[in-house]
Structure 1
Amino acid sequence: MSKFLGTGVALVTPFREDLSVDVEALVDIVNHSINGGVEYLVVLGTTAESATLSKEEKELVKQTIINANAGRVPLVVGVGGNNTAEVVNELKSSDFSAFDAILSVSPYYNKPTQEGIYQHFKAIAEVSPLPIILYNVPGRTGSNVLPKTIIRLANDFKNIIGVKEAAGDIVQAMKLIKDKPKDFLIISGDDMITLPMVLAGGAGVISVIGQGLPKEFSSMVRYALRGNLDDANHIHFQLMDIMEYIFEEGNPAGIKAVFENLGLSTALTRLPLVPATDALKEKINGFPLLVTNKIKG
């Protein structure tokens, strides 16, 4: 699936001062990302604060991004949960005609066994109208999808085309790259270890910082995919501080502070998340590449 090679970005949901969805800001962020060179967009992932959006707001976010994208890059939509029957029903009943793939997170809170995780994704694969990218993020779900389970799913279901691997464990990522089927995509879900994962044979990244600094981050990934280590390393080292800053107080508080700095949206989040502190904003605002990339304000 060459359309998912390179940099995808997990889009935020920007809010107005009254915490309603800021449609105009979302359009600006979509254009900022695409014009900066990202290869695809991820809609309603965890970075979008989808857990705090109503059903109507989710539809508004989807339609806003679909319209703003206007067919320019592929779209991936997040469809996941810890109630397998509910996820299956959503896949059966929703219109996915504007999307190219599903990103489905491993069940959270329940802490299923590896067999339970396999059966969950088996049920999803059997009904999904689109290719599926698994999402392993144990820091949020409370359970790790082991490489053997991911490889088993990859071998058993041809419509499971890849995994967003966000365990933050380079050894685990290397095991996946070593044992994966030929065309299965190992996609970094951790900005900081994207470069070593790609150089080892990974397919790219679904990034957070990539929507704030799309030109720089997507260029780094493209250099890595081509084996241009010197240029990839140069950008990686330039971005290391900001990659740390944006996760210092949780996601998406950090990346929203970046967008506030760029003049694209407010830094507001919905409870139980809170916006970045003034101390973190000060560090972000002083980051050299943001000073030179400032859009407005």
Structure 2
Amino acid sequence: MNLSGIIAYPITPFSADGRGINLPVLTQSLELLLASGCHAIAPLGSTGESAYLSEDEWQQVAAHTVTTVAGRVPVVIGLSELTTEGAIGRAKFAESIGADAIMVIPVSYWKLTDQEIHAYYREIAAAVSLPIMVYNNPATSGVDMSPRLIVDMFRDIPNVQWVKESTGDIQRMHAIAELSAGELPFFNGSNPLAFEALCAGASGWCTAAPNVLGDLPRALYEYVYDGNLKAARDLFYRLLPMLRYVVAGGLPKTIKAGLELQSIAAGAPRKPLAAASDEDISELRRLLAAVQ
């Protein structure tokens, strides 16, 4: 499977009482991302509050996303489970509903060894035929996978086809490219690193930014790959204050507030996450106006 470009993350909107999924608003948010020209959609990541969903809710969001996108772009379903058995169950569900790929991040209570992480991915891969994107984000998962481990898994596990690197360290991406002799496609997962990572040869950018910035992330990607680095740099610095803000403010909170400013009733994140304050919304409005 060929995967590149902007992989966009949707929110998970909740019902008014916070106890279920608002599927009509999920549809709206998915259509907004498709209209932004993203190259793929990845539900059930940090932006989608995956860690706060019940199993039934997780399955609802996954299935509704696949149905709504309807093959217009690939759907890469995110999964993060403490246990290998739980991860395999979700991977099998993703395969059963017609997802195109899965993005897998291990999470841990006990610190995992490299051998345990390798076995985690190997057993998931053996249970499904879906291609896998390895997702490294120690800030949220508590697991930091070295470039050497990631490349070893790429060499040893046929399903492992890409990696999303979210540490914000460009040297990690250089190391992945060097250790794999340029064979392992890497994706940027750190918004403030987007320009630098794309210039370093990243196959794409995994981001929630299209929710609030429309087609501008795709434009940045295309400028770089067309060789128009001045236009890419100028656009990146225009976007950078917003890119920093949505990450620093917490993706579910800031992205949902940004969607509300676009008349999409995204609602609040699930508690204990807090909704955006009046000051947050005012700053988002200012940043959005500055991008235009």
1:78-116: CA deviations, max 9, x gaps? 123121122224434664342110110123333212222
- TM-score, structure 1 as length reference: 0.91
1:13 maps to what in 2?
12
Query: Aligned letter for 1:87?
Result: A
2:115 maps to what in 1?
115
1:286 maps to what in 2?
286
1:210 maps to what in 2?
210
Matches within 5 A, 1:266-281: 266-281=266-281
Tell me if structure 2 keeps the 8 A contact 1:162–1:184: yes
DSSP 3-state at the match of 2:274: coil
1:185-235: CA deviations, max 9, x gaps? 201111111221111111011101123223001110122223221121121
Tell me if structure 2 keeps the 8 A contact 1:15–1:265: no
* The 10-residue stretch of structure 1 (127-136 or 52-61) with the greater mean CA deviation from structure 2: 52-61
DSSP 3-state at the match of 1:167: coil
DSSP 3-state at the match of 1:187: strand
Tell me if structure 2 keeps the 8 A contact 1:177–1:200: no
1:153 maps to what in 2?
153
Give 4+ residue runs of structure 1 displaced > 6 Å after superposition. none
* The 10-residue stretch of structure 1 (233-242 or 89-98) with the greater mean CA deviation from structure 2: 89-98
Q: Between the two proteins, what is the percent identity of the paired residues?
A: 26
Query: Residues 57, 261 of structure 1: CA spacing in aligned structure 2 closer, same or farther, 3 A cutoff?
Result: same
2:83 maps to what in 1?
83
* Unaligned ranges ≥5, structure 1: 293-297
Q: CA deviation at 1:144?
A: 0.9
Q: CA deviation at 1:290?
A: 7.5
Query: Residues 288, 269 of structure 1: CA spacing in aligned structure 2 closer, same or farther, 3 A cutoff?
Result: closer
The CA distance in 1 between the partners of 2:239 and 2:222, in whole Å, is: 15
The CA distance in 2 between the partners of 1:212 and 1:72, in whole Å, is: 21
Query: Aligned letter for 2:21?
Result: V
How many residue pairs end up in the alignment? Answer: 291
Tell me if structure 1 keeps the 8 A contact 2:95–2:128: no
The CA distance in 2 between the partners of 1:222 and 1:110, in whole Å, is: 42
1:144 maps to what in 2?
144
The CA distance in 1 between the partners of 2:236 and 2:94, in whole Å, is: 39
Query: Aligned letter for 1:27?
Result: T
* RMSD of aligned alpha carbons: 1.9
2:23 maps to what in 1?
23
Query: Residues 128, 95 of structure 1: CA spacing in aligned structure 2 closer, same or farther, 3 A cutoff?
Result: closer
Query: Aligned letter for 1:17?
Result: A
* The 10-residue stretch of structure 1 (80-89 or 156-165) with the greater mean CA deviation from structure 2: 80-89
2:66 maps to what in 1?
66
The CA distance in 2 between the partners of 1:107 and 1:54, in whole Å, is: 17
* Unaligned ranges ≥5, structure 2: none
Query: Residues 245, 94 of structure 1: CA spacing in aligned structure 2 closer, same or farther, 3 A cutoff?
Result: closer
Q: CA deviation at 1:183?
A: 4.0
1:258 maps to what in 2?
258
Query: Does residue 1:222 correspond to 2:222, yes or no?
Result: yes
2:179 maps to what in 1?
179
Tell me if structure 1 keeps the 8 A contact 2:10–2:33: no
* The 10-residue stretch of structure 1 (119-128 or 178-187) with the greater mean CA deviation from structure 2: 178-187
1:295 maps to what in 2?
none
Query: Residues 94, 233 of structure 1: CA spacing in aligned structure 2 closer, same or farther, 3 A cutoff?
Result: closer
Tell me if structure 2 keeps the 8 A contact 1:108–1:143: yes
DSSP 3-state at the match of 2:164: strand
DSSP 3-state at the match of 1:252: helix
- TM-score, structure 2 as length reference: 0.93
1:252-277: CA deviations, max 9, x gaps? 11111111111112340101211122
Q: CA deviation at 1:178?
A: 2.3
Query: Residues 103, 119 of structure 1: CA spacing in aligned structure 2 closer, same or farther, 3 A cutoff?
Result: same
The CA distance in 1 between the partners of 2:291 and 2:149, in whole Å, is: 44
Tell me if structure 1 keeps the 8 A contact 2:211–2:258: no
DSSP 3-state at the match of 1:206: strand
Q: CA deviation at 1:48?
A: 0.8
DSSP 3-state at the match of 1:193: helix
Query: Aligned letter for 1:218?
Result: R
